[in-house]
Amino acid sequence: MSGHYLGLDLGGTKIEAGVLTDAGAILARRRIATSELRDGPETLPNLVRLGLAVMADAGVDRVQGVGVALPGPVDQNPLRLLAAPTIPEIEGVPLDGPLREAFHVPVAGDNDANACALAESRFGAGRGQRHVVYVTVSTGIGGGIVVDGRVFRGARGTSGEFGHQIVAHGQGPRCDCGATGCLEALASGRGIAWRAEAWLRYPEAPASALRGREPLTAEDVAAAARAGDKLAQEVWTETARCLAIGLSNVINVLDPDVIILGGGVALGAADLLLPPLREWVDRICMPSLSRHTPIVTAVLGADLGLIAAAVLAMPAAE
Q: Does 183 contact Zn ion by CB under 5 A? A: no
Tell me, residue by residue from 229 to 268, as one string, x for binding to Zn ion by CB under 5 A and - for no binding.
----------------------------------------
Binding-site member from 44, 182, 221, 300 for Zn ion (CB under 5 A): 182
Closer to Zn ion by CB, 27 or 179: give it.
179
Question: What is the greatest pairwise CA distance in the chain?
Answer: 67
Task: Compute the C-alpha angle 279/124/77, nearest 5°.
Answer: 105
Tell me which stretch binds Zn ion (CB under 5 A): 56-64, 161-169, 199-207, 221-229.
161-169
Tell me which stretch binds Zn ion (CB under 5 A): 2-10, 148-156, 182-190, 241-249.
182-190
Q: How far is the CB of 65 from Zn ion (least distance, A)?
A: 34
Q: Does 175 contact Zn ion by CB under 5 A? A: yes
Pairing of strands 79-81, 107-111: unpaired
Closer to Zn ion by CB, 185 or 311: give it.
185
Nearest CA-CA partner of 218 in 238, 247, 242, 194: 194
Report the alpha-carbon distance of residue 257 to residue 254 in Å, rounded. 9
Contact predicate 168/182, CB 8 Å: no
Q: How far is the CB of 185 from Zn ion (least distance, A)?
A: 6
Alpha helices per DSSP H over the chain: 34-37, 43-58, 96-103, 112-123, 183-187, 189-200, 218-226, 230-254, 264-268, 270-284, 287-290, 304-311
Q: Does 164 contact Zn ion by CB under 5 A? A: yes
Closer to Zn ion by CB, 73 or 106: give it.
73
**Residue numbers of the site for Zn ion (CB under 5 A)?**
164, 175, 177, 179, 182
